[in-house]
Structures are given as structure tokens and as C-alpha cells.
Amino acid sequence: MVREWDPRTASSAEIASLLDTLNAVLAADLPQDPPWRESSLREYLTEVMPGERRISWVAQEEPGTNGAPGAILGQVQVLLLGDIGVLEVLVHPSARRTGLGRDLVRTAARRVYQEGFSAIGVEVVGDTPSVAFYESLGFTREYVETRSVLDLSVVDWAELAEMATGIGAGYHVEFHPGGPPDELIEAYARAKAEVRDVDDGELRPSSYDPERLRDSLDCLHRRGMKPYIVLALHEQTGEVAGLTEVVVPAQHPTRADQYDTIVVQDHRGYGIDRAIKARMLLELRSAEPDLAEVQTWNAQANEAMLKVNAELGYRPDRDWCEYSVDVADLVHRLDASR
């Protein structure tokens, strides 16, 4: 049975059941990834940026004879932002290839269509069943990135400390746990607005103006995701010349996510990328002692950044793709296949 589901009001047993399914999916499809934890999972599923909406449905087994709620075997959610719906679908490995994934997508797609959105986008992880699944539904690949993972247990910390100081004269590097200080928000947003050649994919939009940036930091905190920032300040102008952002999510705190890394055009060639990323890892080592890995996503064409990441010890892990589909086409195709 597929029904609309609001994580805000869901019982703790349902949240725990969804977590079990998510971890079964990870064990089947991404066995090297750490399992997720329950901490802040409800907030992770609930909180959104102003102007965005997330709608969710679950496929749940019938209640047991003792009245215990049935397990959640599948979930679909769609985040409505700008003019697209960003889809996420999970089906427990024990319930796959029965058409459940397709039913979940049909339910979400119809709503996205009714809401007047024209396109649906989805992140698809390479070498998992998702690739064949979304291609069978008519989604096409828009963009490919490589995910790389850094295992902190093999990092040469002395070498890293040297990299952290290898920056041209005239720059000052600062570490800010929690986000940039308020007096730097405007300069920070300017750096992000100028350069969009980032570590990030298009389904994870960056924030380019101060208000949006504040909202985005606030949303991260509410979702239980702690941002850390290292920035390089150009001493002469006070401008933010470079920045790097890492987020430690309460849901998988042993593996952090690298978000944007940006070096503003005029300040390239001074070793800023390498120095700020190295400084970040050194800071995280003491700020987050349980952290074991950091993962990052790069466009395959971004050779300069890939080179620095390789020097830091990142190893390519898998393709991470963005697929999209026209909503009306998807709804027609799914209705015709019933």
C-alpha cells in the first residue's frame, strides 16, 4: 500500500523502520558507505529551505495481527524547488523487482505534474540498480560527476600541515565551525556568486546571495548537519579569495560531505585550493575525532581540483549522475505501462 507520509507526525517506529530500509539499501548497493543513524533523521526528512516543499510517500506492509505497524518497504520523496522536482526513491532489497519502485515514482510524478512542475531530476549512483531503473522509465543522463572518498587513517598529517601553509603571501586563512561569521557573509556570498566552478552538482544548489546563504546555513543546522568552513581572506581588500565547506551530518557522522570549494578567478595560482582543503582536514581532525572519511563530488572535467584532491589522498569511488525527465512524458509512460 502506497500512502502519503509526513515525517513530521510519523511515529518513532515508522522512522526506525525507514532507517532499517535505508540501511538495507546501503548494504546492498553501497556496502562501503557507513550505515545511517537515527539522530536527527526526522529533522533531516522534514526541514527545507524557505520556498521549498518536500512531499513523501511510503509503501508499508499491513499491520501485524498484534496491531504492530507494518514495516516500511519503500519510500519516495520529491523536493519541489525552482521549476523542478528532485526525486529520491528507496525500495528494500527484499521487495525489489515487483514493480514497487515504479509505483512509487508514478505516485510522486502525478503530484509533481498536478503541481505544475515540468521536469523531474534525480541523482543516480553508478553501478547500482538505479541506473537501469531510471533508464527504463525514460530518464536521460544530464551530467556525471565522480565521487571520491578520503580515508583519514591513511593521511600523512605532517605533509598535510605543510600543504596548509603553502599559500602565497597576502592571504590569511581562517577556520569557522558552524559557518562564516556574520560580518563575512556578504563577502562570502560574493565569492560564491562569482565562481560556479564548484565541487557540487546541479541538484545541490549553492547559495549566491547573503540572505539565501543565511537560510541555507540555518536549514543545514535544523537538519542536524554541521557545517565547517575554511576561507582565505585577501588581506589587501578583505575579499574572500577562496573557501571550502565540509558538512558533518548527525545521520552519518563518521563520513563527512565536502560541499563547495571555490577559488575566485583573480586569486587562482597561489595555492589556495590545496591550502584551505589541507587546513580543513587538520581542523576536522580535532573538532570531529570520530570522523573517519570525507567524500567529495567533482565534475570529471575539473582537472585542477581532481589533481589537488588526489594529492590530499582522495580516491575515486564511483560515478554520480544526474538524470532528468519531462514530467508529462513520465506520467504518460507510467500510466500506459499499468
Ligand X SMILES: CC(C)(COP(=O)(O)OP(=O)(O)OC[C@H]1O[C@@H](n2cnc3c(N)ncnc32)[C@H](O)[C@@H]1OP(=O)(O)O)[C@@H](O)C(=O)NCCC(=O)NCCS
Of 76 and 84, which CB lies nearer to ligand X in the complex structure? 76
Q: Is 337 in the site for ligand X (CB under 6 A)?
A: no
Give backbone dihedrals phi and psi of 161, rounded to 5 degrees, phi first.
Answer: -60, -35
* 91 part of the interface to ligand X, by CB under 6 A: yes
Nearest distance in Å: CB 252, ligand X: 12
Q: Which residue is nearest to ligand X (CB)?
A: 101
* Angle between helix 272-287 and 303-312 (nearest 10): 40
Residues 119-148 within binding reach of ligand X (CB under 6 A): 125, 128-130, 132-133, 136
Of 26-34, 226-234, 294-302, 309-317: span binding ligand X (CB under 6 A): 26-34
State the number of binding residues for ligand X (CB under 6 A): 21
Tell me the C-alpha distance between 163 and 145, whole Å. Answer: 26
What is the DSSP track for 136-194?
A: HTT-EEEEEEEEEEEEGGG--HHHHHHHHH---TTEEEEEEETS--GGGHHHHHHHHHH
| Candidate list 63, 99, 177, 178; residue touching ligand X; CB under 6 A | 99
Q: Residue 84 and residue 327: Cα distance in Å, rounded? A: 9
Neighbours of 64 (CB within 10 A): 10
Identity of the residue, 29 or 218, whose beta carbon is nearer to ligand X in the bound complex:
29
The nearest distance, CB 318 to ligand X, in angstroms, is: 10
Q: Nearer to ligand X by C-beta: 93 or 170?
A: 93
Query: In angstroms, what is the C-alpha Rg of the chain?
Result: 21
- Out of 90, 152, 225, 230, the residue judged to bind ligand X by CB under 6 A: 90
Dist. CA 113–CA 93, nearest whole Å: 29
Shortest reach from residue 52's CB to ligand X, in Å: 20
Strands 293-299 and 140-151: antiparallel
Q: List contacts with ligand X (CB under 6 A).
A: 25-26, 29-30, 89-91, 96-102, 125, 128-130, 132-133, 136
